[in-house]
Amino acid sequence: MERDFNYTEELIEQGWLVLRFWDFEIKENVKACADKIELALKNRIRK
């Protein structure tokens, strides 16, 4: 978890939008995951 946090911080500093999904989340509800991605992109474009 600490490694993931460090990588996430580094990517954000470089301007990346970081979203993480666990495999079970995608398997259980791929539409909900896609909706989160769409919302994150829309929010990023508005800024």
Q: Which residue has the higher pLDDT, 17 or 45?
A: 17
The pLDDT-based confidence of 47 (bands split at 50, 70, 90) is low
Please give the share of the chain, as a percent, with pLDDT higher than 90: 81
pTM for the predicted model, two decimal places = 0.74
Cβ contact 15:36 at 8 Å: no
The pLDDT-based confidence of 3 (bands split at 50, 70, 90) is confident
Q: Which residue has the higher pLDDT, 19 or 4?
A: 19
Q: If we measure between CA atoms, which residue out of 16, 13, 17, 34 comes closest to residue 25?
A: 34
